[in-house]
């Protein structure tokens, strides 16, 4: 491979492409690594590099255990190089044409075991406003799998404590009706009936979960709460508000819930998003599935 062409390409990248320093360094490193691969395999003619050579190289990266993101970036680097050669009439055909980047791996977020969930949910004291509120929120989050934004936006008129349901307006699914397990329902009623009015006094507020000033709890406030209890738990796992949502989904599927029911309760518009957790095929009515599958129903 001509050193002159390589140097001209690097000069072009440095002076004419508007790339960040890190991206530029990665592209340069990738193409030099590809050049070394070609030399090692006795391919020193640019024109001799065809689609098969590029694919074989990408496969070699995969065998080395390179991450999907790294392989995708390497393909982008090689494509950029051969586009440069093509635009400068140094080759007749781009060997990367129609080559697709590997699909990114969907890594499952941190999931708590049922025992770890029990430890987390046992943290709040429950005999004062803060403890009762926190206990109700954590139990409700795990019982329903709703998002953090949904739990802080929850209003009293969206709860049906008699039947044990909550209603959520969802732009993609119009409305979600989610059953509340008996354990969460117990602590939710305790918070609302025993402690919520303490901070309100004579004020009126439609938000279910309040801060000490009697105003709606914010997302930032909830994050601080979950972080506080996670630190006390001392688990070697990163625990966020979404950890309970993910654990909710996995535990339902592990106990036999069908994927479409979990999709409906999570509010996923695309079932492929739900499939990141697991696959299940039982067909039952939503509430029956919930009561049978959820460990705290």
Q: What are phi and psi of 279, to 5 degrees?
A: -130, 135
170 vs 64: CA distance, rounded Å: 44
Q: Decide if pLDDT at 280 tops 50.
A: no
φ/ψ of residue 138, rounded to 5: -65, -40
Which pTM was predicted?
0.58
- How much is the pLDDT for 279? 39
Q: What is the DSSP letter of 284?
A: -
Which is more confident, 20 or 196?
A: 196
Residue 56's nearest CA partner among 34, 73, 85, 76 is 34
Q: What is the pLDDT of residue 102?
A: 78
Of how many residues is the chain composed? 297
Instruction: Calculate mean pLDDT across residues 110-135.
Output: 90
Sequence-ordered list of residues with C-beta below 8 angstroms from that of 234, at least 6 positions apart, any chain: none
- pLDDT, one tens digit per residue, over 260-279 is 777 777 777 665 666 666 53
Look-up: residue for tokens 């979950």? 226
pLDDT of residue 286 exceeding 60: no
| Sign of the torsion angle spanned by Cα atoms 234, 240, 244, 247 | negative
- Helical ranges in the chain per DSSP H: 3-16, 21-40, 51-63, 68-87, 114-121, 129-144, 148-152, 182-190, 197-200, 219-233, 241-254, 259-266, 271-274, 286-293
pLDDT averaged over every residue in the chain:
83
Alpha-carbon separation of residue 177 from 1, 21, 38 (angstroms): 64, 49, 59
141-166 mean pLDDT: 91
| Percent of the chain's residues with pLDDT above 70 | 87
Q: Is 111 helix (H, G, I), strand (E, B) or coil?
A: coil
Cross-strand partners of 176? 168
Q: What is the pLDDT of residue 111?
A: 79
pLDDT at residue 74 in the model: 92
Mean pLDDT value of segment 286-291: 56
**What is the mean predicted confidence (pLDDT) over 90-106?**
82
Least confident of 1-15, 86-100, 114-128: 1-15
Whether 258 shows a pLDDT value over 50: the answer reads yes
Q: Which of the residue ranges 87-101, 178-192, 257-271 would you say has the lowest mean pLDDT? A: 257-271
**CA 26/CA 74 separation, integer angstroms:** 9
Tell me: the pLDDT tens digits for 190-211?
A: 999 999 988 888 889 999 999 9
Percent of the chain with pLDDT over 90: 38
Calculated CA dihedral for residues 107, 110, 111, 116, nearest 10 degrees: 160
Q: Which domains does the chain have, with CATH numbers?
A: 3-87 (1.10.150.130), 114-293 (1.10.443.10)
């Amino acid at each position: 491979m001509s050193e002159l062409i390589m140097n001209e390409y690097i000069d072009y990248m440095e002076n004419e492409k508007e790339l960040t320093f890190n991206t530029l360094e990665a592209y340069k490193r990738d193409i030099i690594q590809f050049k070394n691969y070609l030399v090692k395999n006795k391919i020193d003619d640019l024109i001799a590099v065809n689609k098969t050579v590029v694919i074989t190289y990408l496969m070699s990266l995969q065998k080395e255990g390179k991450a999907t993101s790294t392989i995708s970036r390497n393909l982008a680097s090689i494509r950029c190089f051969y586009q440069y050669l093509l635009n400068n009439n140094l080759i007749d055909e781009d060997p990367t044409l129609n080559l697709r980047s590997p699909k990114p791996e969907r890594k499952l977020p941190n999931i708590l075991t049922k025992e770890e969930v029990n430890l987390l949910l046992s943290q709040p004291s429950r005999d004062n406003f803060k403890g009762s509120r926190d206990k109700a929120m954590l139990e409700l989050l795990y019982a329903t799998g709703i998002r953090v934004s949904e739990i802080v936006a929850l209003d009293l008129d969206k709860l049906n404590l008699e039947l044990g349901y909550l209603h959520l307006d969802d732009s993609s699914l119009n409305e979600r009706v989610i059953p509340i397990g008996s354990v969460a329902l117990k602590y939710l009623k305790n918070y609302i009936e025993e402690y919520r009015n303490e901070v309100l006094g004579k004020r009126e507020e439609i938000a279910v979960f309040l801060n000490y000033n009697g105003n709606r709890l914010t997302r930032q406030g909830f994050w601080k709460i979950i972080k506080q209890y996670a630190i006390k738990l001392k688990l070697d796992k990163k625990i966020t508000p979404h950890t309970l949502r993910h654990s909710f989904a996995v535990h339902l599927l592990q106990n036999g819930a069908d994927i479409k029911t979990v999709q409906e309760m999570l509010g996923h518009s695309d079932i492929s998003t739900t499939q990141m957790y697991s696959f299940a095929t039982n067909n039952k009515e939503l509430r029956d599935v919930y009561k049978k599958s959820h460990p705290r129903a």
